[in-house]
Amino acid sequence: MEKNIKMIRKNLENLPEIPTLPYGYKLRIYKEGDEENWCNIINKSCGANFDIEKFISEFKRHPSFSPDRIFFIDYKETSVATSMAWKDSPEEKITGRIHWVGVLEEHRGKGLGYIITLRCLYRLKEEGLKNCYLITQNYRIPAIKMYLKLGFEPEVTDENFNVWKEVFEKLGIMFSL
């Protein structure tokens, strides 16, 4: 059963160096007209149902919207990965959010999700934020493994204890609090 789970990175210090992208890939920020690229990546990689109007209403019109917090990785002339370094409110000074990480299936296994998520962490740190969180789903085992590698920790509660226990079993990691 699909469950949303939260992970927290308690600080944005000691971030690993951003690896070099594989040949042919380029990291960039959002530019006007990228709404369709973002929707395509997120819909295909996350099973979401965004259209341009929904992107505009949920993100572009949000008071926290900033083009330099939305990243893309392009391969040749096609956007193949995206993620947001989000702030839940423009006044937020402490906690950021890694929001909507997606990599098209044919480009997975190249470290693109790691690189784009790490770039978002650096962006939040550049803005002076101290920590961050993300929401993912319990079945996204490769993503959870990547988030753990990036220093995120599970937020374990009485309600989700068994969900996290199952996730760690699938990861082959000893689960302890």
Domain ranges, ordered by start, for the chain: 4-171
The predicted model scores a pTM of 0.96
pLDDT reported for residue 36: 98
Report the 3 state secondary structure along the chain: CCCEEEEEECCCCCCCCCCCCCCCEEEEECCCCCHHHHHHHHHHHHCCCCCHHHHHHHHHCCCCCCHHHEEEEEECCEEEEEEEEECCCCCCCCEEEEEEEEECHHHCCCCHHHHHHHHHHHHHHHCCCCEEEEEEECCCHHHHHHHHHCCCEECCCCCCHHHHHHHHHHHCCCCCC
pLDDT lower than 50: segments of the chain: none
Each residue's pLDDT tens digit, 59-68: 999 999 999 9
Fold of 4-171: Aminopeptidase (3.40.630)
pLDDT at residue 177, as a whole number: 64
